[in-house]
């Protein structure tokens, strides 16, 4: 790994983050009239007017602003905007009667969907904890802890372990099937690991540490494939694998067949998710003060699976998904998977010093900068063909926002700086 090559890519990332990505958002996200953030933008970055403020988009914007401020960007502007977001979340989205956040509001702050969805609440814990770490405003951690307590009370399966994730407003569990009340998912457990990590970083409380460790144990020994260590998307209550179905409440545009099942519904894993899991695990272990190399074998297997199966060596970038044992089902390119693999590959470099992870990083970095970034506008296209032609072109939506893109730049820059330090 050439130092100059690393510096060049790092500077490209800094430039993108500070002159394109962050300005894209700071110039247009603040809703001066109703509070909170505007999150719906078309290919040109114009407000589409869609009358939605979703829990995940509001929370993810808060994370983005807070974490970028904590990393040293924005000269205070990001912290100010973050506070503006917290005011809306706590003032308008919090359910004062039953606790927790509503899933979907209109722009004015009226409730559109009052259900309690744990995927959204994991981001609320994550972002509110990060907000307090970044700004010192204790309101963030106060509400993050409230959500943690609600989740422990209402969402744990005390029979088989793990968390249920789909609830009515009053925290009664939703029904089975597409309502989701009989399913446990990789998605929610991984994002709870991410959330509990930052919660514990902020509080240092034993109960937060303990629940984080229990969740990591579940992820490593139940949710990940026993051989390939790849994530298995859905389970029934006793952790038998469930066919991957589409839920009534969604937070993405995963493609399903007409009957609501995935093709290859029981043998499907997602490269971006696996790389994200691996680097979030490394981060969690660091916060827990556990040596990540105590899990070297698992991390190696995951990173290698990503490199060997997920990276498109011909056109660049990361594929969508494939079978656990190797191979690819879907060769299109989703923006967020590129973002997560960037960070994961740099962690692979830092932990194992293996050049193949650097090559993979370079591959995806190039694809992102040459194809995924919407030049002159500043955000990323959400979905591209294998060759890199945009398929979906909106810049912002309730479930396409700045969390993956900004985090990928902030975290990649940090890691490239570390690699440079180590090679001095």
Cβ closer to a second copy: 156 or 241?
156
Pick one of 1, 43, 133, 173: the residue that binds a second copy (CB under 8 A).
Answer: 173
Applying CB under 8 A, which part among 67-75, 105-113, 155-163, 266-274 lies near a second copy?
A: 155-163
Report the half-sphere exposure of 406 (CA within 13 A, side-chain side). Answer: 28
Within 192-211, the residues that bind a second copy by CB under 8 A are 206-207, 210-211
Cβ closer to a second copy: 200 or 361?
200
Cβ closer to a second copy: 33 or 159?
159
Applying CB under 8 A, which part among 54-62, 162-170, 351-359, 373-381 lies near a second copy?
A: 162-170
Cβ closer to a second copy: 183 or 262?
183
Pick one of 49, 97, 158, 424: the residue that binds a second copy (CB under 8 A).
Answer: 158
Say if CB 192 and CB 121 are below 8 A apart: no
Report the half-sphere exposure of 310 (CA within 13 A, side-chain side). Answer: 33
Helix axes 55-70, 118-135, angle to 10 degrees: 30
Cβ closer to a second copy: 162 or 344?
162
Pick one of 3, 108, 112, 153: the residue that binds a second copy (CB under 8 A).
Answer: 153
Using CB under 8 A as the binding rule, whether residue 214 contacts a second copy is answered as yes
- Cβ 200 to a second copy shortest distance, Å: 14
**What pairing do the DSSP bridges indicate for beta strands 234-235 and 184-185?**
antiparallel
- Cβ 163 to a second copy shortest distance, Å: 7
Using CB under 8 A as the binding rule, whether residue 156 contacts a second copy is answered as yes
Q: How far apart are CA 314 and CA 336, in angstroms?
A: 20
| 144's tokens | 């993050």
- Cβ 423 to a second copy shortest distance, Å: 40
Applying CB under 8 A, which part among 4-12, 70-78, 214-222, 299-307 lies near a second copy?
A: 214-222
Instruction: Give the binding site for a second copy (CB under 8 A).
Output: 149, 152-154, 156-163, 170-173, 206-207, 210-211, 214-215, 217-218
């Amino acid at each position: 790994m050439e130092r100059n090559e690393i510096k060049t890519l790092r500077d490209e990332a800094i430039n993108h983050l500070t002159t394109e990505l962050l300005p894209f958002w700071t110039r247009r996200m603040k809703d001066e009239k109703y509070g909170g953030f505007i999150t719906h933008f078309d290919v040109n970055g114009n407000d589409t007017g869609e009358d939605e403020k979703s829990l995940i988009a509001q929370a993810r914007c808060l994370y983005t602003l807070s974490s970028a401020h904590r990393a040293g960007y924005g000269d205070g502007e990001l912290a100010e905007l973050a506070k503006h977001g917290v005011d809306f979340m706590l003032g308008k989205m919090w359910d004062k009667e039953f606790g927790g956040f509503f899933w979907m509001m209109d722009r004015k702050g009226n409730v559109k969907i009052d259900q309690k969805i744990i995927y959204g609440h994991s981001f609320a814990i994550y972002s509110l904890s990060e907000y307090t770490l970044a700004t010192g405003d204790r309101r963030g951690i106060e509400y993050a802890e409230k959500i943690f307590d609600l989740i422990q009370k209402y969402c744990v399966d005390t029979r088989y372990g793990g968390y249920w994730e789909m609830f009515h407003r009053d925290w009664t569990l939703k029904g089975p099937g597409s309502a989701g009340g009989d399913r446990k998912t990789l998605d929610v457990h991984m994002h709870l690991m991410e959330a509990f990590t930052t919660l514990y970083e902020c509080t240092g409380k034993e109960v937060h540490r303990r629940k984080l460790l229990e969740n990591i144990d579940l992820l490593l020994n139940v949710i990940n494939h026993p051989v390939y260590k790849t994530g298995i998307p859905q389970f029934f209550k006793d952790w038998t694998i469930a066919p991957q179905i589409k839920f009534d409440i969604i937070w993405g545009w995963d493609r399903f067949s007409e009957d609501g099942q995935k093709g290859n519904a029981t043998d499907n894993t997602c490269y971006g998710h696996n790389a994200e899991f691996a680097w979030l695990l490394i981060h969690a272990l660091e916060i827990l003060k556990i040596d990540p190399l105590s899990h070297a074998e698992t991390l190696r297997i995951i990173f290698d699976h990503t490199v060997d199966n997920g990276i498109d060596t011909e056109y660049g970038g990361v594929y969508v998904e494939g079978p656990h044992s190797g191979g690819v089902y879907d060769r299109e390119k989703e923006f967020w998977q590129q973002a997560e693999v960037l960070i994961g590959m740099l962690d692979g470099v830092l932990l194992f010093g293996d050049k193949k992870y650097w090559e993979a990083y370079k591959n995806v970095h190039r694809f992102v900068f040459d194809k995924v970034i919407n030049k002159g506008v500043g955000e990323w296209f959400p979905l591209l063909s294998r060759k890199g032609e945009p398929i979906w072109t909106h810049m912002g939506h309730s479930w396409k926002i700045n969390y993956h893109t900004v985090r990928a730049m902030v975290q990649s820059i940090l890691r490239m700086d570390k690699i440079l330090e180590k090679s001095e």
